Amino acid sequence: MLYMSNFPFSDVIHRIPIEGGFYTKKEVDKLIKEAVDEARRIDEESMRKHNRDATIISMILGFTTLALFVDGLLRLLGVTPPFMGIDIDILDRIVEKVESDLLPLVQKIPRI
């Protein structure tokens, strides 16, 4: 059986490379300042990378949205051919309605 008294503990001794075996207030303040400065540097660098990546993603999404909007608008106006047989062209319908409904009414108006 393995008892705690027989459990192999680490025989590695952690040695702190400082004078006197303890940190002085100056050394602690210096270490804290260095850690805070490095944390700020890392934070600024990660925010810069995030902003660049977010800008690129926004540009791609914006361009794609604009391209799809223009494609739909051109299909709606009949400039580009129907996609997969789905015809959404409204100009022909507008012309037919004008010719059938409004033209007879306009022709009935007496000319002066």
* Predicted local distance difference test score (pLDDT) of residue 10: 55
What are the pLDDT digits (tens) for 43-54? 999 999 999 999
Mean pLDDT of the chain: 83
pLDDT digits (tens, 9 = 90+) for 10-43: 555 555 555 566 778 898 899 999 999 999 999 9
Q: Tell me which of 80 and 54 has the higher pLDDT.
A: 54
Q: With 0-12 CB in 10 A as exposed, 13-18 as middle and 19+ as buried, what is 80?
A: middle
Q: Which among 94, 90, 99, 97 is positioned nearest to 72, based on CA atoms? A: 90
pLDDT, residue 85, reads 81
